[in-house]
Amino acid sequence: MSTPAPLPTIPAPPPQVIPADTIYATLGDPTRRRILQILAPGKGHTATTLAGNVGKRLDATLKHLVSLRGAGLVITSENPADGRRLLYHLAPAIPVTKTDTGWDMDFGYCLVRG
């Protein structure tokens, strides 16, 4: 018997570079920074959960999430527990390091500690 041909390899996409102006404009709002700090541990959260944690109404929280998603800082996935809602996660392009005091997010232009 002949051995099967190896699967073709697909090159990895280049790392995403988010412009500095986008980072600074997005991080300029304390609610957006708080959302990113909540998402830093890697667990996905619904918009409703995030709204409760940041002390804002759901519609205001959704506006911040749209902005974060548009900037490439947040991604969404389907919620396996409830198919109607999305889970929000910190974008994988943002390196997060656990420290003794919390989490450090390195945006390349600045470091956010939470």
Q: For residue 97, give the 3-state DSSP assignment.
A: strand
Helix (H) or strand (E) holding 25: helix 20-27
The residue type found at 69 is R
For residue range 97-114, what is the model confidence (pLDDT) as tens digits?
998 988 899 888 788 887
| Domain range summary for the chain, segments of one domain joined by + | 20-113
Residue 42 has pLDDT above 70, yes or no: yes
Tokens 């920074």 label which residue? 33
User: What would the two tokens of residue 55 be?
Assistant: 């002390």
Is residue 27 within 8 Å of 105, Cβ to Cβ?
A: no
Angle between helices 30-39 and 47-54 (to 10 degrees): 120
Is residue 33 within 8 Å of 27, Cβ to Cβ?
A: yes
What band does 14 get if pLDDT is binned at 50, 70 and 90? Answer: low
What topology does CATH give the domain 20-113?
A: Arc Repressor Mutant, subunit A (1.10.10)
Torsion of CA 11, 17, 18, 19, to 10 degrees: -140
Residue 15 has pLDDT above 60, yes or no: no
DSSP code at position 22: H
